A and B are shown apart, each in its own frame.
Chain A
Amino acid sequence: MSFFRRHEAAILGGASVLAAVSVWEAAWQAGWISPLFFSGPSAIAARFREDWAHGTLVADMAYSGQNFALGFGLATVAGVVLGVLVGWYRRLRLLVDPFVNAFYTTPRIAMVPLIILWFGIGIGSKVFIVFLSAFFPILVNTVAGVKALDTDLLRAARSFCASDRQIFTTVAIPGSVPFILTGVRQGVAHGLIGVVVGEMFAGNQGIGFMIAYGGQTFATDTLFVGVAIIAFAGIVLTWMAERLQRHFSRWRPSR
């Protein structure tokens, strides 16, 4: 296979991004873009370097990263554990189904003002918003995974006197992994929305605050640095989730 065919995705994708950025930068250099309403690649890069050297950017990234990591970590643990239980025990499912459906379809953003009333404007409200955003996709997908389990495997486990706990850890959770990871990927996307929105609403730190502040002060370059960081975080986290998915699917027949 030729070099081009082997790296087709990287070459074509890279070329298209490079072309778009070049056109954007040319338009910026030509003065066709008002810095009040938009920005240019070189200005964004310069703002990034400056804020980075100053240390404020690192502090904002650390703050947002911590909010996201705490909320998302709690959501993953709670979503998988509760998802297995709700998927397994039919009566429990009937009890919680109305609430899960209501929360899953309501934009969690609608809850943000209430959450700020509960937890204040500090880290607590941000972590909880991320948690709430990521929890439901993970829960709903885990429940679907447990409901779709192979009944032959469950019967085999029972025939060897497996306890419910043993069935959860040896059949239900590993068998639901493809579903769980689909939920985790959706949870990443929803959790990132949660962290940005949470910081926009209240507080004076984080990437979300940086974006909101940039907009209010017509500092479009600052605003774009924040958007780029969130986009980059989304790409990296999705890539990690996909790697995880592939790691857990190595027993599948190769396609």
Chain B
Amino acid sequence: MPKLTIDRVSKKYRLEREARDVPAFAEVSLSVEEGEFVAIIGPSGCGKTSLLNVVAGLLPFEEGRVTLNGRDVTGPGVDRAVVFQHPSLLPWRTVSGNVRYGMEMQRRFDRATMRERAERFVKLVGLDGFQRQYPSELSGGMQQRVNLARALAADPDVLLMDEPFAALDAQTRELMQAELLQIWAESRKTVLFITHQINEALYLADRVVVFGARPGRVKAIFDVPFARPRPLALKRDPRFLELEDPIWQLLQEEARA
């Protein structure tokens, strides 16, 4: 049985001023296996972030079913954690306090365990020595590491990542991608990763789902054959570039449509 099943799910937004509904995405089906890393790629406004929010339980939907571990998703749950596009850190909490935040809300661990896990995940994302800093004292890349550590520390079954590196500069982004793969190799969490960058999707994922727009829907799914661990140099490999091409073609069609 797949870990996560999205079965013919549709989501509409209400435009109050024009008194009509606009579909965000329609009839989307996708299943994700335990321990699989799936990237969803698509043009902006194609509903990919809405889909992630539906899976996170943050957005109600009208039709279809979403099941996780065989149970219906009706709201947020301790089996999922989201890494947001904006770091969304509490500015009045330190790095450690923010990493602890998700665990505190979920109340699954006792105090000592929370402290121990916070320390472990702060170190895992490479922020040892910054435990007592406030978010305003960190760079964008470091804030995103805290965002990631907060989600990982909550020990979810499925990690939902919403373009987490989109706002970072190119060098920091590549570094974060490589580090994410290292971290993921240790935990082997199931990951659903939203992006609009072809090489990010191919470098990270086991499967790449290409989304079309208006309404959002699955256009194609590509298996990524590269062995792990993947060095960053893979992005320069001719086979990698060859795989980029059909995805690029599909996204071009969408952009022109």
Q: Give the contact stretch, choosing among A12-20, A118-126, A150-158, A180-188.
A: A150-158
- Interface contact B91-A252, CB-CB below 8 Å: yes
**Contact between B136 and A155, CB atoms less than 8 A apart:** no
CA distance A159 to B105 in the complex (A): 9
Bound Cα distance from A152 to B86, whole angstroms: 8
Roughly how many angstroms separate A253 CA and B90 CA in the complex, as a whole number?
13
Q: Which of B18-26, B77-85, B113-121, B191-199 sits within the interface?
A: B77-85
Which of B101, B106, B137 lies at the interface centre, i.e. has the most chain A CB atoms within 10 A of its CB? B101
Query: Which chain A positions have C-beta within 8 A of B101?
Result: 156, 160, 170
* A244 → B minimal CB distance (Å): 14
Which one, A166, A174, A175, A252, contacts B105 given CB within 8 A?
A: A166
CB-based contact A253/B105 at 8 Å:
no
Whether B76 lies near A160 (C-beta < 8 A) is: yes
* A156 engages B88 (CB within 8 Å): yes
Measured in the bound complex, the distance between the Cα atoms of B105 and A166 in whole Å is 7
Asked whether A251 is an interface residue with its Cβ less than 8 Å from the other chain, the reply is yes
Taking the complex as formed, is B46 at the interface, i.e. its CB lies under 8 A from any CB of chain A? Answer: no
Tell me the complex Cα distance, A158–B58, Å: 7
Asked whether B90 lies within 8 Å of A159 as measured between CB atoms, the reply is no
Chain A window 97-130, contacts with chain B (Cβ cutoff 8 Å), 1 for yes, 0 for no: 0000000000000000000000000000000000
Task: Determine if A236 is an interface residue (Cβ-Cβ < 8 Å).
Answer: no
Which chain A residues border B92 with CB–CB below 8 Å?
Answer: 174-175, 177, 248, 251
Asked if A161 is at the interface of the complex by the 8 Å CB criterion, the answer is yes
Q: Which chain B positions have C-beta within 8 A of A177?
A: 92
0 or 1 for each of B114-135: is its CB under 8 Å from A? (1 = yes): 0000000000000000000011
In the assembled complex, which residues on chain A have CB atoms less than 8 Å from the CB atom of B57? 159
Taking CB atoms, residues of chain A closer than 8 Å to B58 are 155, 158-159
Bound complex: CA A159 to CA B86 (Å)? 14
Is B88 a contact partner of A253 (Cβ separation < 8 A)? no
A36 interface residue, CB < 8 Å from B? no
Q: Whole-angstrom distance between the alpha carbons of A46 and B61 in the complex?
A: 77
Chain B, Cβ-Cβ closest to A250 = B134
Contacts A155-B58, A252-B136, A253-B136: A161 and B88 contacting too (C-beta < 8 A)?
Answer: no
**Known A-B contacts A158-B58, A159-B81, A160-B81; A153 and B90 likewise in contact (beta carbons under 8 Å):** yes
Enumerate A205-255 residues with CB–CB distance to B below 8 Å.
Answer: 248, 251-253
- Chain B's nearest CB lies how many Å from the CB of A29? 55
Determine whether the beta carbon of B91 is less than 8 Å from that of A155: no
Q: Contact string, B60-78, partner A, CB cutoff 8 A, digits 1/0?
A: 0000000000000000111
Judge if B102 is at the interface, Cβ distance under 8 Å.
yes
- CB contacts (< 8 Å) of A33 on chain B: these are none
Which residue of A158, A170, A251 is within 8 Å of B134 (Cβ)? A251
| A120 CB to nearest B CB, Å | 44
Q: How far is the CB of B148 from chain A (nearest CB, A)?
A: 13
Which residues of chain A in 13-70 are interfacial with respect to chain B, using CB atoms and an 8 Å cutoff? none
- Interface flag for A162 (CB, 8 Å): yes
A105 to chain B, nearest CB (A): 32
Which residues on the B side are within 8 Å of A166 (C-beta)?
104-105
1/0 per residue, CB under 8 A from B, across A67-78: the answer is: 000000000000
When distances are taken between beta carbons in the complex, the residues of chain A under 8 Å from B77 are 161
Q: Does B56 contact A (CB under 8 A)?
A: yes
Residue B154 at the chain A interface, CB threshold 8 Å: yes
- Chain B residues near A253 (CB-CB < 8 A): 136-137
In the bound complex, do residue A251 and residue B84 qualify as a contact, i.e. CB atoms below 8 Å apart?
no
Chain A residues positioned under 8 Å from B56 (CB to CB) = 159
5 A-B pairs with CB atoms under 8 Å apart are A158-B76, A159-B57, A159-B84, A251-B136, A253-B136
Minimum-distance CB pairs A-B, first 5: A160-B105, A156-B88, A162-B105, A160-B102, A152-B88
A residues near B (Cβ < 8 Å) are 150, 152-153, 155-162, 166, 170-171, 174-175, 177, 248, 251-253
Task: List 12 extra interface pairs beyond A160-B106, A166-B104, A171-B90, CB under 8 A.
Answer: A152-B84, A152-B86, A153-B90, A155-B58, A159-B82, A160-B102, A248-B92, A251-B92, A251-B93, A251-B135, A252-B136, A253-B137
Q: Footprint of A on B, CB under 8 Å?
A: 56-58, 76-78, 80-82, 84, 86, 88, 90-93, 101-102, 104-106, 134-137, 154
